[in-house]
Structure 1
Amino acid sequence: MSASERDGEGRGEGPAARYRSAEWFEGDDEVAVLNRVALRVGPHDRGRPVIGIADTSSGLNPCNAAFELVLPELERGVREAGGIPVRFPAMSLGEDLMKPSAMLYRNLLAIELEENARAHPLDGLVLLANCDKTVPAALMAAASVELPSLLLLGGARSAPRLDGRPLGSGTDLWRLLEQRRAGLVDAEKWGEVERVLSCAGPGSCNTMGTASTMALMAEALGMALPGSTGCPSADGELARLAHATGVQVVRQVQQDQLPQHRLTQPALDNAFRLLAAVGGSTNAVVHLAAVAGRLGLDCSLERVDRLWSDVPLLVDVEPCGTRLIQDFHQAGGLLSLAAAMIPAGLLHGGVATASGAPLADIAAAAPAPSGVIRTVAEPLRPGPTLAAVFGTLAPSGAVIKTAAASPDLLQHSGRAVVFDDYKEMRVRLDDEDLAVDPEDVLVVRGCGPVGVPGMPEWGMAPIPRRLVAAGVRDMVRVTDGRMSGTSFGTVVLHVAPEAAVGGALALVRDGDRITLDLERRRLDLEVDEPELDRRRQQTDPPARQHLRGWPRHYQEHVLQAPQGCDLDYLTGPTPESRRFVHPVVGRS
């Protein structure tokens, strides 16, 4: 048997000439000749799978900067396994610089990745993803394109020291900001914070923010190799992971292993339970819903709340804990956490990992939980760490990270103080004369998927300056927007339907009473229905801010948060009959 025939085994299609790329390269006509010339496919390359490498590195995105260093190892792994690596550029969604939010462009990147794969002679994909929105975009694309695919994650940035302790990106900055607004941090100290943060180097946030949370989700879903989460970006281990990813994706092509074989309901349920166990970013709820929507899986908030109900906090990483993501990685990462959760019946052990082995098999060889990772019998705190709430203010649901909230505020009723504009909110909250008390509920609306558009992370409204100076560190906040995964506080997020599409949040007025009752999973506006009807009749729909381009398209087609904020025409599983659809191979 020839080498090319061996490569084709497992596909059920005979020799490797039946790889998808063969549609471009096989034949003796001028089209096949030009295609082979364009990709420099010589006689020795015939029958080898072509692996597309979607490169999201960019000078505008420090989270993804480490990819430049490990790309040679990824390409070497592909070649050594018998594949042809082909790198192509893809949009880089940098959370720090993109305004109003990289979330506005998550769906666009998912479309770009899917259509690039569909239009080119690719047999498999490696998607380079690290910053908050690149990882979910890559997962969404992989769920739709139906090619063997893996994610290569870019690792976490280092933790420079401030006042003798490691500085967690995001979480520690928010805490220092509170102290600055309270007059406890002067300009010189604030400048030192900036200088220290500038020394962190490339990589994603080193706390359990959205990037680290989504890395964990990708690993849990079998889309990134075991051990990927929290790998230091400047470490040689990242290069080893890159090489192993290149080898593994070629094996998946040869064996016809599609993402859909691993992206199953049990795997999705595992991801939600792991999210709770680490006190992860609430943004993951939206992103997992988008992936589920592509596959026809169930991620209703009712189901998710049940999955969360008995999962305690098992990982001591900021913002819900005290350590950093590299500590989680060194303690055994997902595999050690799974070793604690599987025996307690909190995870499905039979789901497939990206290595091909069942989760339970490789978790059995992981380091025993200790220190950063706790056992179910000795958690950091009991569950639930996350919850979904419903009620007259959130008929379609909302989400709260209870592990980052103040316990005494989880049953609370207070007067609404309403903000409709982000800039106005920041100015008013610094106004010493703002009429607000610690018992009030801050309402930040108009920042949902349609409202801005893009659902930016404006939901964790700062505590009013006068109150924070008096020692207040938390208040109930309610929003149709999101908050950073590195944030904390008693914040009810993703209220749906959002204000911009006529949700009840649009009807709230200053002084209205809002009640949060976590035990009953309720969020209610204490205003009678006749008054709400009167307000509906007097409330004009908000004017659309964008008249052209992607923002207008997004506003016209984006779904609400419980559906993942995907575009309405991209949901639903791809029928088998559409697999590997590509343009007719011929002259352009």
Structure 2
Amino acid sequence: MTFRSRAWFDGDDEVAMSHRVALRLDDADRGKPVVGIADTASALNPCNIGFARLIPEIERGIRDAGGVPARFPVMSLGEDLMKPSAMLYRNLVAIELEETVRANPLDGVVYLANCDKSVPASIMAAVTTNLPSLLLLGGARAAPLFDGKPLGTGTDLWRALDERRAGRMDDAQWRALERTLSCAGPGACNTMGTASTMAILTEVVGMSLPGTAGLSAVGDELTVTAYRTGVAVTEAVLADERPASRLTQVSLDNAIRALAAVAGSTNAVIHLAAIAGRLGLEAGLARMDALWRDIDLLADVEPSGAGLIHDFRRDGGVPALAAAMGDQFDTTALAGDGRAWSEITASAPAPTGVIHSRTSPVATGPTLAAVFGSLAPTGAVIKTAAASPGLLTHTGRALVFDDYADMRERLDDESLVVTAEDVIVVRTCGPVGVPGMPEWGMAPIPRRLVEQGVTDMVRISDGRMSGTSFGTVVLHVSPESAVGGPLALVHDGDPIELDVPSRRLSLLVGEDELARRRADWRPAPTRHLRGWPRLYAERVLQAPDGCDLDFLAAPLPETRPFIEPVVGRS
């Protein structure tokens, strides 16, 4: 067959010669497909740093399958250090990947992704370029013991924070927690955070090899998977098998349902919408809510359960989950190795521990819900599985915060006038507001209330929260406050009604008063005058549309052509 890279390398003129020299092709390599390795390893990103040891295995797999490996560096999106949020740069990395692939002689790609935003960025680029490709996921970090219990990264930190703020954890215990976290080593969070959620969904939609989500970040299994992924992508190039054949509306709907079955990160709602937007598929909040309604919680993993992602993998992983979901998972969809999921689920182990059957779920659904109403005209999201059941129907007065630093300071002020019945509103932290939509939505419980034993309150935000977080938190309120959404009009003391069973979020203020406030509202001055943040704020879509840039999302598949470069002198 004719490979894309041959447009660069075939011929005897000076252009083809210089291209062959640049990639150091010898006679034995000529005519073979070139498979790129998109390397996101970085010392600034502990989740992805382990890829450095896996690249030789990927290269060996590519060569053994008849290809030529070509590693190239990619901006690494790490949640731990990037401010205000790695989410600000997800679209930038998707652009970087798309343009690097477009401009170079690549016939297929192995995308190295692990930390939260590196995964959707890779999938967005992969489905846009539509070259044979798979993701290699870097696995989850270890779970060292703390106070005799395996430490769940993220989730246990948030719980410890409340203990410290309540005076029940002293300085010595806090330092001991830090030392224990440092011992966890490389890899993604080991709870059902965004990284683990996206690893599962990547496998569901056929963009990674089946049975690989939840692997340990260290050890032989991941090394073998790296080799197999190199082989599989090279074989896909030879067979001309592309992501569009796997990532269809059927597989996307499977991912939406699987997200609910594991009570996964609410961040995945935005990422699935962005991926759908690149493909012209449907993943609106109304559709998601309809697909979530009859899905029970089948994965007993923190923060909505008790286990860790390693336990999920040992209990059969995604194949066992898909089998347990039964007719709620369409097994005609294709997995990452090209097989139908029906073939994979036929040999999947029966649920025995962390993965439950539908007849004996961890909890009844829905685990996620979309709400609409006067405070969220185009929708908002709540993870009901991590919320307090008694707060899912609640009316309280608003306590409003426009600034993150101010919120953290005032919530620790013992003189703050607040009750457990109040509704904390955190705004100006949406896609445009910061920009980048950081994970500021799970506001801490006010210190005075924590000391009284309060563990949850209704919190409402146009921002996001970590997948490792928990509580009755309504997120992604749209339109966001920075663009004049109703959230911008809320005043302290306004009554707000949350009614999750009715899928309603309402600001109980008269229309005349809201009209007066709307007439007085003015957008905040632009935070960034140049560079990527300015472009992002000017062109980013709202959360229900995936927070992609408006010129990258495609309304229909036929309107998203991948334009090949003209190959000639550079």
TM range (shorter): over 0.9
Which amino acid counterpart does residue 387 of structure 2 have in structure 1? A
Matching of residue 478 in structure 1 with residue 460 in structure 2: yes
- Conservation of the 8 A alpha-carbon contact between 1:20 and 1:580: no
- Aligned residue type for 1:240: V
Q: Which residue of 2 aligns with 1:450?
A: 432
Aligned to 2:228, which of 244, 249, 257? 244
Greater mean deviation of Cα atoms: 274-283 or 566-575: 566-575
AA in 2 matched with 1:294: R
Quote the offset at 1:583 in angstroms.
2.2
Greater displacement, 566-575 / 327-336:
566-575
Give the structure 2 partner of residue 432 of structure 1: 414
Counterpart pick for 1:129 among 88, 108, 113: 113
Alpha carbons 2:280, 2:556 under 8 Å: kept: no
Q: 2:271 aligns with which of 287, 291, 309?
A: 287
Q: What is the alpha-carbon distance in structure 1 between the residues aligned to residue 559 and residue 368 of structure 2?
A: 39
Name the residue aligned to 2:295. 311
User: Counterpart in 2 of 1:264?
Assistant: 248
User: 2 CA distance for matches of 1:248 and 1:175?
Assistant: 41
Q: Are residues 515 and 577 of structure 1, via their aligned partners in 2, closer, same or farther at CA, if it must alter by over 3 Å?
A: closer
8 Å CA contact 2:463–2:475 kept in 1: the answer is yes
What aligned pairs does 1:306-385 form with structure 2 within 5 A after superposition?
A: 306-342=290-326, 345-385=327-367
**Which residue is equivalent to 1:200?**
184
Deviation at 1:554, TM superposition (A): 0.2
1:388 to 2:333 alignment: no
Give the alignment's TM-score, normalised by structure 1. Answer: 0.96
Q: For 1:230 and 1:377, locate their aligned partners in 2 and report how far apart those are by CA, in whole Å.
A: 24
Q: Is the Cα contact below 8 Å between 1:308 and 1:387 reproduced in 2?
A: yes
In structure 2, what residue type is equivalent to 1:23?
Answer: A
Q: CA deviation at 1:581?
A: 2.8
Name the stretch that deviates more: 70-79 or 388-397. 70-79
Tell me the alpha carbon deviations over residues 261-286 of structure 1, each in whole angstroms, 9 at most, x when there is no partner: 11100100000100001010000000
Task: Give 1:570-581 correspondences, 5 Å limit.
Answer: 570-572=552-554, 581=563
Q: Secondary structure at the match of 1:63?
A: coil
Q: Tell me, yes or no, if structure 1 residue 550 matches structure 2 residue 532.
A: yes
CA distance in 2, matches of 1:267, 1:524: 34
Counterpart among 504, 511, 528 of residue 522 in structure 1: 504
Matches of 1:74 and 1:424, distance apart in 2? 47
Q: SS of 1:369's equivalent?
A: coil
Matches of residues 121-160 of structure 1 in structure 2 within 5 Å? Answer: 121-160=105-144
**Structure 2 runs not aligned, ≥5 long:** none
**Following TM superposition, by how much is the alpha carbon of 1:133 offset from its aligned partner in structure 2, in angstroms?**
0.3
Are residues 1:173 and 2:152 paired? no
Q: Is 1:210–2:194 an aligned residue pair?
A: yes
Instruction: Report the Cα offset of residue 148 of structure 1.
Output: 0.7
* Shift of residue 305, structure 1, vs aligned partner: 0.2
Listed one character per residue, the Cα deviations across residues 426-482 of structure 1 (whole Å, up to 9, x for unaligned) are 000000010110000000000000000000000000000000000000000000000
Partner Cα distance (1:121, 1:316) in 2: 45
CA distance in 2, matches of 1:393, 1:232: 42
Per the alignment, in what secondary structure is the counterpart of residue 111 of structure 2?
strand
> Does the aligned pair in 1 maintain the 2:141–2:185 contact within 8 Å?
yes
The CA deviation at 1:539 is 1.1
One-letter identity of the residue aligned with 1:146: N
Do the aligned partners of 1:147 and 1:580 also contact (CA within 8 Å) in 2? no
Cα distance in 1, alignment partners of residues 561 and 487 from structure 2 = 42
Contact 2:292 2:368 survives alignment (8 Å) = yes
8 Å CA contact 2:280–2:557 kept in 1: the answer is no
Residues 144 and 574 of structure 1 are in contact (CA less than 8 Å); yes or no, is this contact kept in structure 2? Answer: no
More deviation, 255-264/385-394: 255-264
1:106 positional shift: 0.2
Q: CA deviation at 1:582?
A: 2.8
Give the 3-state SS of the residue equivalent to 2:421 in structure 1. Answer: coil
> In structure 2, what is the equivalent of residue 11 of structure 1?
none
1:575 Cα offset (Å):
5.7
Report the equivalent of 2:495: 513
Relative to structure 1, the CA distance from residue 388 to residue 576 in structure 2 (aligned partners, 3 Å threshold; closer, same or farther) is closer
Q: Whole-Å Cα distance in 2 between the matches of residues 415 and 46 of structure 1?
A: 70
* Residues 272 and 575 of structure 1, relative CA distance in 2, 3 Å threshold: closer
Q: 2-side partners of 1:146 and 1:119: how far apart?
A: 14
Q: 1:233 pairs with 196, 199, 217, which one?
A: 217
Residue 105 of structure 2 corresponds to residue 117 of structure 1:
no
**Does the Cα contact within 8 Å between 2:206 and 2:336 map onto a contact in 1?**
yes
| Alpha-carbon separation, structure 2, partners of 1:460 and 1:487 | 7
Which runs of 5 or more structure 1 residues have no equivalent in the other structure? 1-7, 9-17
Q: Tell me what 1:4 maps to.
A: none
SS in 2 for 1:388: strand
- Distance in 2 of aligned mates of 1:208 and 1:367: 21
Residue 28 of structure 2: SS of its match in structure 1? helix
Q: What amino acid is the match of 2:490?
A: V
How big is the alpha-carbon RMSD for the aligned residues of Structure 1 and Structure 2?
1.0
The one-letter code of the counterpart of 1:524 is: S
* Aligned residue type for 2:482: A
The alpha-carbon deviation at position 410 of structure 1 amounts to 0.2
Read off the aligned partner of 1:489 and give its amino acid letter: G
Q: Note if 1:107 corresponds to 2:97.
A: no
Cα separation, 2, equivalents of 1:422 and 1:578:
38
- Separation of aligned partners in 1, 2:564 and 2:67: 21
Report Cα offsets for 1:497-548 as digits up to 9, x if no partner: 0000000000000000000001110000000110000001111111110000
- Choose 571-580 or 127-136, whichever is displaced more: 571-580
Alignment-derived partner of residue 560 in structure 1: 542
Q: Matched residues in 2 for 1:281 and 1:186: separation?
A: 30
Task: Give, as a single letter, the amino acid of the residue that structure 1 aligns with 2:227.
Answer: H
Deviations 1:543-572 (A, max 9, x none): 110000000000000000000000000011
TM superposition outliers: structure 1 runs of 4+ over 6 Å:
none
Aligned: 1:64 with 2:48: yes
Does residue 468 in structure 1 map to residue 468 in structure 2? no
Cα shift readout 1:387-427 (whole Å, capped 9, x = no counterpart): 00000000000000000000000000000000000000000
User: How far does the alpha carbon of each residue in 1:292-325 deviate from its partner, in whole angstroms, 9 at most, with x for none?
Assistant: 0000001111110010000000011000001100
Further displaced range: 204-213 or 359-368: 359-368
- Rounded to whole Å, the distance in 2 between the matches of 1:560 and 1:573 is 15
2:10 pairs with 15, 26, 33, which one? Answer: 26
Deviation at 1:125, TM superposition (A): 0.5
CA distance in 2 between counterparts of 1:41 and 1:579 reads 30
CA 1:577–1:317: 2 relative to 1, 3 Å = closer
- Structure 1 residues 251 and 312 mapped into 2: Cα distance closer, same or farther (>3 Å)? same
Q: Do the aligned partners of 1:140 and 1:294 also contact (CA within 8 Å) in 2?
A: yes
Q: 3-state SS of the aligned residue for 1:447?
A: coil
Secondary structure of residue in 1 paired with 2:353 = coil
Choose 371-380 or 64-73, whichever is displaced more: 64-73
534-543 or 384-393: which moved more? 534-543
Give me the whole-angstrom Cα distance separating, in 2, the residues matched to 1:350 and 1:143.
20
Local SS of the residue matching 1:64: coil
Letter in 1 for 2:107: D
Deviation, structure 1 residue 578: 7.2
TM-score, normalization: structure 2? 0.99
